[in-house]
A and B are shown apart, each in its own frame.
Chain A
């Protein structure tokens, strides 16, 4: 049940991404095991937990970015609108157009602001005539339009960190994705820039489904509808630590009345 205080209607949002027994391996090392969680449409889902417990690994497996790492391998399924993303017939390029990503450190292309945004649609075959409008729409949604509208042809690298990150969000939005994955998007930014981005997330969640990994518990509490808490435990076979999902529930519940003791210890600051 997804009833929340203040909602008019208690409606269970449809599932966009359904992780079924997901485990990720780097070579022989199992980085994360047994993740079962359903990401719901138009919600902001946060993944929190201490370092090294696989949050980023799980996030990157949602748009097949782990494919770029030699030896990375996945067991289990990631169902996206009923299709397993890891089905051999699925093209990772198409997946990444529909499931976009924003990274921890802003990484705009060393090109103009305009070209940064149009690159994705251009290689997807969008007509040049649509570019101007696309750039404006994406920058408006990323709350960046007013600041850069007079210098679209200037290099993206000339902007501040916060602006660059908003540009990266605009760039991710430009391919018209379903889902936006954000890997600690604010950890390299100052509090004011962070605030802009959190506001922006609230604005755009009506159009996108957002999954965010964050080290900042307060941010997770401020921003998300649902929270997944991960931790890492010593593997019985070897001396490495494997990540696992401990608890996944409405954010209010995770922070006020978690079911698992490990969750409680983390959110109350007893460890982590």
Chain B
């Protein structure tokens, strides 16, 4: 059946046609669009308020004595307290978490995606990994306390409540997420690329190493860097593992590796302990400044993840 013809006869012919083609008000669509926009604006507003509040509170420290704030250790006096030990602790934590979780997580994902058979056992394992990704971090803290701090032979390795113990705990915390994002990235490799690799006589490992991993690199990188950023901000596991909230005697050099087996503190703990002090200098000024530093750190990690991901994605699309 032919579509109804636009009326063109008569002097009004053109006018009638335009009438049919004119935009009609799409009320439902506009309301929907406005609702979405306001959700976005509200979210941004919350974020902006948080950031403005925190930057405002910390501005006296950040603008007044940023240098000493970054290089001083913990102190009883607000004006002399700094986050040097907190920064070292957080950095070493991230390093240890990365060194432990990445090879284990990526390796496990490769095995599960490429080598493991599909049966009830592997399905069960897969479900469990997904569940573990959602377990509250405080539970991992208890696990870390029991295993890495107190016993199972690990105490001799970690030396108790140390960055090593906390790093291992955080590694276990992020491991499920690393596995899941790596597995997703591997699954996104087009079948055509794998077939091309096998077609010229590649073994399974050669196809994985030379084709799948490079293709999946952006996804894997994003997942791993984001998981480190998350681990950097976790407080509950650190509390349970016994991160020092009081004072530490020394501010070790950045490269003094022995600090991984020493008592330590980290940024989230410094922030929480300062936020509970009675003095305004700690509770408002120092805590806010420390929060800003932590946010900057996490932002840098996330930006690195995005930049690297974009670079790798460009490479695979010419």
Contacts and interface: CB of A to CB of B under 8 A. Distances in A.
A and B found bound together? yes
Interface of A: 63, 65, 68, 70, 93-94, 96-97, 100-101, 103, 105, 107-110, 119-120, 123-124, 155-158, 168, 171-172, 174-175
Contacts of B318: 110, 155-158
B151 interface: no
Contacts, number: 69
A123 B202 contact: yes
A107 to B, nearest CB: 4
B201 A107 contact: no
Interface of B: 118, 190, 192-203, 206, 210-211, 214-215, 315-318
A97 B199 CA distance: 8
Contacts of A101: 195, 199
Contacts of A172: 199-200
Contacts of B203: 93, 123
A175 B199 CA distance: 10
B195 A107 contact: yes
A172 B215 CA distance: 21
A134 to B, nearest CB: 13
Given A109-B211, A157-B317, A68 B198 contact: yes
13 contacts: A63-B199, A65-B198, A93-B203, A100-B200, A103-B192, A107-B190, A107-B195, A108-B196, A109-B211, A110-B215, A123-B203, A124-B201, A157-B317
Contact of B199 (A65, A70, A94): A65
A68 B194 CA distance: 9
B196 A107 contact: yes
Where chain A touches its partner, the secondary structure class is helix
A110 B201 CA distance: 17
Contact of A100 (B194, B199, B206, B317): B199
A93 B202 CA distance: 6
A8 to B, nearest CB: 36
A110 B317 contact: yes
Contacts of A103: 192, 195-196, 199
Contacts of A155: 318
A155 B316 CA distance: 9
Contacts of A70: 118
A245 B100 CA distance: 56
Contacts of B214: 110
Contacts of B211: 109
A241 B108 CA distance: 40
Nearest to A92: B198
A123 B199 contact: no
**Which 10 pairs across A and B sit closest by C-beta, in order of nearness?**
A120-B200, A157-B318, A97-B201, A155-B318, A107-B192, A110-B316, A107-B196, A101-B199, A96-B201, A158-B318
B198 A94 contact: no
A171 B200 contact: yes
Report which residue of A65, A107, A124 has the largest number of chain B beta carbons within 10 angstroms of its beta carbon: A107
Contacts of B193: 107, 109-110
B210 to A, nearest CB: 7
A117 B33 CA distance: 51
A22 B274 CA distance: 76
Given A103-B199, A123-B200, A171-B196, 4 more contacts: A65-B198, A68-B194, A101-B199, A120-B200
Contacts of A120: 200-202
Contacts of A109: 193, 196-197, 211
